[in-house]
Structures are given as structure tokens and as C-alpha cells.
Structure 1
Amino acid sequence: MSDTGSDSTAEGRVRCGFVAIVGRPNVGKSTLLNRILGQKISITSRRPQTTRHQVMGVKTEGDSQAIYVDTPGIHHMQRDRNRAINAFMNQAASQALRDVDCVVFIIDRSRWTSEDDAVLAKLENVSAPVILAVNKVDRIEDRSTLLPWLAELEKRRSFAAIVPLSARHGTNVAALEEEVTRHLPEGIHFFPEDQITDRSQRFLAAELVREKVTRQLGDELPYQMTVEIESFRDEGHIIHIDALMLVERDGQKKILIGEKGERIKKIGQDARLDMERQFDCKVMLKLWVKVKRGWSDDARALKSLGYDLE
């Protein structure tokens, strides 16, 4: 269900543009970016709001370079959670919509929520073409409901295209990429062909530790946890990393460490294995836990910890 009236791609034209990936929390934005790149650069978990930063992924294919920006999920600010970090995540997602050449708006199969409405409202003033990606269609039990649902979605906005897909399994992701390429402007590539992200290894290391905490502890540990890399030494054949996990209360510290240190040991093992795959070398990882009260509701503390929109 796409607009094929005017094909903006042409052989031999060099194209490059920015593509914002937006949607409410936990619809598969990071999974989609990782699938497109064929490599993990954006962490994932089943828990909403795992992504906290804008994460840029670069896909160069032939004459076209698409620079995808994965964003935190746009969500309602609730009274009991109107913390500075929540405001930061919403601002990061909104900022990604400025001056982009295309937007991929992801929703979850046949479920539309008030938070999807909130995302749609933010897109009202966006002049760039918006592609609607209907994710997780592999989980739809009655396939006969899909076409009527897509027709219903067409009424919500004049989308440049509507693409049903499965980011997890890769189904129809190539079709989405083709739609994106059609809307990239002509221009020189901004990044070398072999570069896939603008984020440093240091940033990726911190995110991988945070991913393991989120996956292993789920609802046991509130959102007031972040990771700070205190030391990152690349010696060529081995990288030494010292990472500090910050929480807000003593009870959270006990949860992270676990009985006889078993939890922090497991987090470290899983994170180290992912880092070794990511960096293609041996990694020596040391983890600590520290209580830093109120960091998630302190704008100055957030900036010092890397939560900066600049």
C-alpha cells in the first residue's frame, strides 16, 4: 500500500538523507534499526523506554546513503514520573524530527493507542514524507484482518507509504528501505561507506551494560539506573573497561549486586560477550554500583552523565 505515482529514485544518482524512526515506547524502533544495519547499535528489551538517546545508524547501499536516527519512545508525561530524564527523552525524540528528509513512524500491528495519537500529533507540522511501518504483523493470528486495518490507517494521515513488516524476523524490511530510498534527496554521502554509526565504542559499551540490566531485572529495578564508563583503554588486542552503574537508592544497589554478587557477575558476563562481538576483540570488563540520589530528576546531573541534546 504505497504511493507509486512518482518514483524519486533514478539510476546513477547519488543520494543521502536523514531518516527519523519514531513511535511510542516498545514498538520495535531499535529492533528495526539493528535489522536494517545488520548489526546491533541500539539496545533492545521488552521494557518500554529502553532507548534514551538518539542513536544514529548509517546504511550505505550503492549510490544511496540513509542516515537513520533511532529515538526514545514518545510517551505521555505522567505526574508520578515527570522526571527530568522523561522530559529529556521526549525532547530527544522531538528534536530528531527537525530537518529530516523522511520519517518512519512505527506502530504495533493492529493496536492503536493514545500514545500513537500523540506521535501523530507531533508529525502534523513535519513537512518531510512520513512512512507508516506496521510492525509485528507476524503475530497477527487472523491474517484476513490486515488489509482492512491498513485501509483504516490510510484515513489517519496522507502517508507516503504504509508498509506491514516484522522487524524481528526481517519480513518486508527491504520494502521499507526501498520506500525510504525513494525520498532521499540527491547529495554527497556524509559518512564513509564502511561507517555504521556516529556513536563511540565507549557509548556502545555503556548501553550494552544497561541493556543487560534492563533485560535481567525487568520491573525489579525502576528506571532510575544509568551507566557511566569511567575508564576505556584500547590496547589493540584487548580493551579494558571500567563501568559504574548508578542508582538512586541503597535497595536498588542491593538488587543490582544480588546475593553474593551473583547478579552483577551475570550482568558483566553477558555484557562482556556482547562487547567482544561488537568490538571484535577481547574485553576485560569491571563493574561497580554506586548510589547517586536524585540523578534522574536533576538536569545538570543528566548532562554530566551524557544526556545532552547537543
Structure 2
Amino acid sequence: MTKCGYVSVVGRPNAGKSSLLNWLVGEKLTMVSHKANATRKRANIIVMHEDDQIIFVDTPGLHETEKLLNQFMLDEALKAMGDCDLILFLAPVTDKVTHYESFLEKNKKNVKHILLLTKIDNVSNKEVLEKMKEYEQFSDKYESIIPVSIKKATTHADILDDVVRHLPEHPYLFDPEIMTTEHMRDIFKEFIRESIFENISDEIPYETDVIIERVQEKEDLDVVKATIVVQKSTQKGMIIGKGATAIKRIGKDARIKIEKLTGRKCFLELFVSVKKGWTKDKKGLKELGYDVTL
């Protein structure tokens, strides 16, 4: 009998969740940014490990905030934690254990979890061992603790072998050939958002979103029409840039990402629209797919 189950990947903002998942699946499927709180919604990433199927759930970072959009993001992460068979908690090696203690409080159903010590490339082996000793006081809480180095030392099996051990025996839930349950248009949206984060500074990326208006598959290329939504007229000007330089740069970056994933040429057409105060208004959030129930 094969094993199959859902594994939520959680941690504070910018803990390396999306980078880990892209590495595990061997494809860029989720948005990665050095800026915190880039991921807004749950996304399923499917990894086959030998004869077993793991459905990883990428989640927004665990954090506290009063902002409506951020409340939606926290709720997404908490739902993922409650609905899964196993949790991977990512703890950057330089973090204090207080982040982990906060996670334990939020894990209301006491779902079993593995602790991954991330970003160990930036510190010495001695510091890694010292941090592992710090977590020993919680050894009755986690199933195991694994130091993770995506750049060099860690292999996929180091993580996946341990994950599969804790999954239930179950037939596959999805076709083994697919890597994600996300629609291609949603991945395109995240690639455009990622390009905004990479090319526009400060808080503006957090107050933008993307609507995919149309995806047309022609014989030799994909035609994608998308609208970037901002909160203020001044932000629209900054997204477009002098002589449309900024939006051209965003479009070029996003197009390259799309083409790399699909293996096809892409014609990407971007527009910018102002939707005043959309991040602070429940109705505005719902129209963009963020149903805030709090």
C-alpha cells in the first residue's frame, strides 16, 4: 500500500518555505521574495517520493497583525495546519526559539510536526549544534529535527524519507504526473507579483495585486493579459515608471519566468488600475479573492 497525505509547510514570514518547496519539486512553482509576507494564499505542491505521494501545502508566514489582508493570510496558514497529516515547521537557525513557542500555541489540534532548521549555510557547524541543543527542551513536542542546507549538504531524501514515515497508508489523491493543483493562470499571477516585489521598492508591492484577465493559448505562444491593482494614483505612476520603464521591467521578468515554466513563448500585456484602499476593505479584498471572515 502506498502512503499519501497533506504536509503543511509553516514558519514565520521569510523563513524559506517557498524556496524549500521549489527545491523539493525541482521547478519554480511558488513565489519567492526576500521581502516578508510575499505569499498570500495556500498552494498545493505535489512531490512523488519513490512510490509515495506527498502533497505539500505552501502557506503565508505566521505573524500577528491588525491589517485585514494579513489576517486573511494568517487564517490561511492556521487552516492549513489544522487540515493536514503532518507539519513541517521551518525555523531559521538564527531565530530565537520564541517563534517556535508561538507556533506550538497556534497548533491547536497538536498535529505532529518535524522541525526544519533552515538557512544553516550562513553559520558555522558549531552554531547549528548549539541551536539544536536549544530546541532539545521541546524534544517531546516534535517528531525530529533536521538541519537543512538547500545549497549544498542536504538531499531531498534527508527530508522526504522522514516525512513519508509519518504519513498514512492511502492511495494517491492526485495524478502522479502533476506537480501542483494550482491553475496555470494562478501561477502566472504569482510570477507577476514576484516581479513587482523584485523591481519596486518599499511598501508598494504589499499594496498591489494582480488580476489575470485572459490567457489564450495559440499554436506558437501564450497570450496573457493582466491588470496590476494598486491602492493609490501615486502608486500607479511608480508601477508604470518614467517612460514606462518600470512596467516594462516587471513584464520582462514575469515573461521570462512564465516561459521557463511552460517551455513556450509568451506575449504578456500588463495594465495598471487603481482600486482605492482595497487592502483595508473587506469588499475590496473579497473581489480580489481574499475572503476575510474575521
TM-score range with shorter-chain normalisation?
over 0.9
Equivalent residue number for residue 69 of structure 2: 85
Q: Match of 1:101? A: 85
Q: Give 3-state SS (helix, strand or coil) of 1:219's partner.
A: coil
2:120 corresponds to which residue? 137
Trace 1:179-218 onto structure 2 (pairs within 5 A): 179-218=162-201
Aligned equivalent of 2:129: 147
Instruction: Say which of 6, 11, 14 aligns to 1:26.
Output: 14
Map of 2:282 onto structure 1 = 299
Conserved 8 A contact 1:26-1:48: yes
Q: CA deviation at 1:111?
A: 1.7
CA contact (8 A) 2:282 2:291 kept: no
Instruction: State the one-letter code of the partner of 1:301.
Output: G
Aligned residues: CA RMSD? 1.8
Q: Is the 8 A contact 2:71 2:292 kept in 1?
A: no
Q: Distance in 2 between matches of 1:56 and 1:135?
A: 21
SS in 2 for 1:178: helix
* Contact 1:56–1:67 (CA under 8 A) maintained in structure 2: yes
Report the Cα offset of residue 148 of structure 1: 2.5
Q: Give the 3-state SS of the residue equivalent to 2:117 in structure 1.
A: strand
2:50 to 62, 66, 73: 62
What is the identity percentage for the equivalent residue pairs of Structure 1 and Structure 2? 34
User: Which residue of structure 1 aligns with residue 252 of structure 2?
Assistant: 269
Aligned 8 A contact 1:104 1:133 in 2: yes
Partners of 2:203 and 2:238 in 1: CA distance: 8
SS of the aligned residue for 1:22 comes to strand
Q: Is the 8 A contact 1:28 1:167 kept in 2?
A: no
What is the CA–CA distance in structure 1 between the aligned matches of 2:228 and 2:276, rounded to whole Å? 13
Contact kept in structure 2, 1:134 and 1:164, CA below 8 Å: yes
Stretches of structure 1 that go unaligned for 5 or more consecutive residues are 1-12
CA distance in 2, matches of 1:196, 1:303: 28
CA distance in structure 2 between the partners assigned to 1:34 and 1:91 by the alignment: 23
Residue 202 of structure 2 aligns to which amino acid in structure 1?
A: D
How far residue 118 of structure 1 moved from its aligned partner, in angstroms, is 2.4
CA contact (8 A) 2:185 2:215 kept: yes
| Aligned residues of 1:47 and 1:218 also touching (Cα < 8 A) | no
Of 108-117 and 190-199, deviating more is 108-117
1:52 aligns with 2:40: yes
Task: Within 5 Å, give how 1:119-268 maps onto structure 2.
Answer: 119-123=103-107, 125-140=108-123, 142-156=124-138, 158-169=141-152, 171-219=154-202, 221-268=204-251
Any conservation in 2 of the 1:35–1:170 contact (CA below 8 Å)? no
Alpha-carbon separation, structure 1, partners of 2:156 and 2:79:
25
**What is the CA–CA distance in structure 2 between the aligned matches of 1:50 and 1:250, rounded to whole Å?**
22
The 2-side partners of 1:175 and 1:39 are apart by 19
- Residue-by-residue CA offset, 1:160-200 (whole Å, 9 max, x unaligned): 01000023557244311111011110010011111111111
How many residues align structurally? 292
Equivalent residues of 2:285, 2:292 under 8 A apart: no
State the Cα distance separating 1:217 from its structure 2 match: 1.5
What amino acid maps onto 1:144 in structure 2?
K
The 8 Å contact of residues 208 and 274 in structure 1, kept in 2 or not, is answered as yes
Give me the whole-angstrom Cα distance separating, in 2, the residues matched to 1:288 and 1:170.
43
Shift of 1:297: 1.6
Question: What SS does the corresponding residue of 1:50 show, helix, strand or coil?
Answer: coil
TM-score calculated relative to the size of structure 1: 0.89
Q: Secondary structure at the match of 2:225?
A: strand
| Match status 1:72 vs 2:60 | yes
Normalising by the residue count of structure 2, what TM-score does the alignment of the two structures yield? Answer: 0.94
Contact 2:5 2:54 in 1 (8 A): yes
- Quote the offset at 1:112 in angstroms: 1.6
